[in-house]
Amino acid sequence: MRKTLLIVAMLLLAAPLMATTTVKVNVNPAEQFTASDGNKVQPITISYVTDVNVRAFALDINIDNVNNSPNFQAIRQFKTGESNSISSGYGIFPSRFRDFIVVTGPNWVDPNYNPTVQYNEPGSTGTGMGYPKFIVEMGTLYAGDANKPAWTGTLFKVDVNAWGSVGTFHVTVAPDTLRGGVVGNDGNGIVVPALVLEGNDVFFASPCTTPTPEVGNAKAVAEAAWTGQGFTLCGTGVVNCAQVGNIITQDSGCYALPYCINYTYGIPPTVPGVVGLAEATATNNITAAGCALGTRTTGHSCSATPGNVTNQSPAGGTQTCTPVDYNVAVDCTVPNVLGQAEATATGNITAAGFCLGTRTTGCSGTYAVGQVMATTPGSGATPGCCTCVAYQVVVGTGAPAAPTSCTVPANDADGSYNVTWAASTGATSYQLESSAAGSGTTVYPLWVQVYNGTATTFAEKVGGGVWSYRVKATNACGSSGTTAGGNTCTVTECLKTTATGYADWQKFRYAQCWCFRRQCHGDIDGKKKLVGGYASSDDLAIFRTAYLLTPTQIAAVSCTVATTGNICGFCADLDHKNKLVGGRVSSDDLTIFRTYYLGADATVTCCDTAAPAADCTLVAGDPFNYWTN
């Protein structure tokens, strides 16, 4: 009952809404038949076209007559019930719903349930079947847009009985204003500015007329001839590029006017949209639509599946007889660019549909410098278009030769001298190693790298000993062998053999820092700072790195205090003694360091204990041969 009241309220309370709805009267003379009583009966079809969601129609249907002849005899082919996706339309008839439909179990096939307004409704006197006028009320109920009526369709058919009348009779349709006319989706009435009545003349007993033959003629010319003969037009466009705009077929018999002449005329095909389809499907769709296949091209695509169409011309939806060109995606294969110059190789990679990946360098005995020696993925692979291909460029053909010489002075008095070596063709850097006689391998390796760089000279600083050197050249392809011979220097030792810890000092690669004037009092790096003096925070940082470490652990501490390997940790061994607990740098050294940390210059005395005491002057009996700071 709520649905019924909703429809009635829409019909009675509607207010105008600006929109357009066209109600059409279609008459096909070929459907005219003779009833059992001998009278001519002409079926007519009432249809609609709208640009809004129409919820209800209230229409007045009239036919010209003389003494009720002709009149409407029967209404049929209307929908009943709710609109849904299977059967949509206007099947709710408010005038009869109350009397013939039970909401809880509706019988939609009740013969009394039809769209016409009952005789006892307002304004219905003299209307209905058997009269030249009747009123229809047709509404719709649906749940969800998928179930709503289409914007074009047939409302019903109604038969007109001639009852002996002869001639042409005019059928008119108008909105029933008493009932709201045409009702929009929101319950507002729709103003219908013009009702297009196509074929709205009903003709009875007209003489036979044969239409002029127009096959092959222009459509406009043919239609003008036929309308001039009194025919109405029922043309259908068919795809035929050879006859676009011309008549292809037509009725050829003799017909009673205003017979709707049936004919076909040529129209261009509508190009289907085939982008994204497999090529075979796409070409089948194109030809099935009546279009010709144009030029086929191929190309790479980052997103399309190989074998699918990526673009077309003309675009889908275009009406034309122009052949349809289309492009098909092809798979991307990594090209073989090995041995090509880098610029050529990268151009070929991108031209094949890939982006450039990581560039690396390497050495090759097969390809020349500047050529590509490898790609990832390799040539012939199909990793997918727009994948990035990494490539490797040759920067050398082999490791450089060893430097031909490494030179040092034969003797040195203060431990500061230069090590020089010959340059090697193709080298990008050099690695210098030194070995101190007597240092052994208990703490440091026999050979320790003391320099790695591009120079061919190294400034050495040691505290004494007999030193040997060797150097090797390197580049991206590897390292050469080392030099040998003519590279030993004997350095006067800064500690005497009687000095505390002398034997350990040799193992520590003759650490020059043990000969600093104030090293035993906390000057670990041999430098006086503007803030903190001799024993400052810089010295504290070194002390912390070596504290409580074994000699082997200290040897691994990285530092820049000395240049002959990592020996700065031993510079924090202030008393030059190895302790049972704490190793080389223990609590004993910490006590010393605390005593002098951040002390005034006068309080951080020299390590010299000979007379005159702590005067920083080298005298006979000192454990030092010379001072290094």
* 561 has a pLDDT exceeding 70: no
Dump pLDDT digits (tens) for 15-56. Answer: 444 567 888 998 888 898 888 877 889 999 999 998 888 889
Say how far apart CA 40 and CA 266 lie, in whole Å. Answer: 36
pTM of the model: 0.45
396 token code pair: 């050398």
- The CATH number, out of the four listed (2.60.40.10, 3.40.1390.10, 3.30.428.10, 1.10.10.10), of the domain defined by the range 406-491: 2.60.40.10
Dump pLDDT digits (tens) for 428-480. Answer: 999 999 988 877 777 878 888 889 999 999 998 888 889 999 999 999 888 99
Say how far apart CA 111 and CA 115 lie, in whole Å. Answer: 11
Dump pLDDT digits (tens) for 602-614. Answer: 888 888 766 555 5
Asked whether the beta carbons of 562 and 512 are under 8 A apart, the reply is yes
Judged by DSSP in three states, 345 sits in helix
Say how far apart CA 306 and CA 295 lie, in whole Å. Answer: 18
Does residue 421 or residue 168 have the better pLDDT?
421
Other residues' Cβ atoms within 10 Å of the Cβ of residue 567:
26
| Residue ranges of domains in the chain | 2-204, 208-267, 279-329, 342-394, 406-491, 502-596
82: left (phi over 0), alpha (psi -120 to 50) or beta: beta
Domain 2-204: which topology?
A: Immunoglobulin-like (2.60.40)
Written as one letter, the residue type at 98 is R
Asked whether the beta carbons of 216 and 265 are under 8 A apart, the reply is no
pLDDT-based confidence at 590, cuts 50/70/90?
very high
559: left (phi over 0), alpha (psi -120 to 50) or beta: beta
227 token code pair: 């309308």
Q: Which residues contact 294 (CB under 8 A, 6 or more apart)?
A: 313, 322, 323, 324, 325, 326
Judged by DSSP in three states, 186 sits in coil
Instruction: Give bridge partners of residue 491 from the DSSP assignment.
Output: 412, 465
Helix segments in 230-341, DSSP class H: 279-288
Q: Which of 561, 466, 550, 546 is nearest to 513 (CA)?
A: 561
pLDDT at 103: 81
Dump pLDDT digits (tens) for 266-306. Answer: 999 999 999 999 999 999 999 999 999 999 999 999 999 99
465: left (phi over 0), alpha (psi -120 to 50) or beta: left
pLDDT-based confidence at 12, cuts 50/70/90?
very low
Q: Which of 500, 414, 426 is nearest to 464 (CA)?
A: 414
Name the pairing type of β-strands 167-175 and 54-63.
antiparallel
Give the mean pLDDT of the chain. 86
Work out the burial of residue 103: count CB atoms within 10 Å of its CB; fewer than 13 is exposed, 13-18 middle, 19 or more buried.
exposed
Instruction: Give bridge partners of residue 527 from the DSSP assignment.
Output: none
Domain 208-267: which topology?
A: Trypsin Inhibitor V; Chain A (3.30.10)
pLDDT at 620: 65
Phi/psi of residue 266, each to 5°? -75, 135
Does residue 483 or residue 354 have the better pLDDT?
354
CA atoms within 13 A on the CB side of 261: 31
Helix segments in 263-367, DSSP class H: 279-288, 342-351
* Element holding 255 (H helix, E strand): strand 255-256
Residue range 502-526: average pLDDT?
A: 89
Give me the CATH code for the 342-394 domain, please.
Answer: 3.30.10.20
Whether the domain at 2-204 and the domain at 208-267 fall into the same CATH topology = no
- Radius of gyration (Cα) for the chain, nearest Å? 54
483 token code pair: 């030099």
Residue range 253-263: average pLDDT?
A: 80
pLDDT at 488: 85
* 7 has a pLDDT exceeding 70: no
Residue range 479-506: average pLDDT?
A: 84
Asked whether the beta carbons of 199 and 260 are under 8 A apart, the reply is yes
* 9 has a pLDDT exceeding 70: no
628 token code pair: 């290094």
pLDDT-based confidence at 133, cuts 50/70/90?
very high
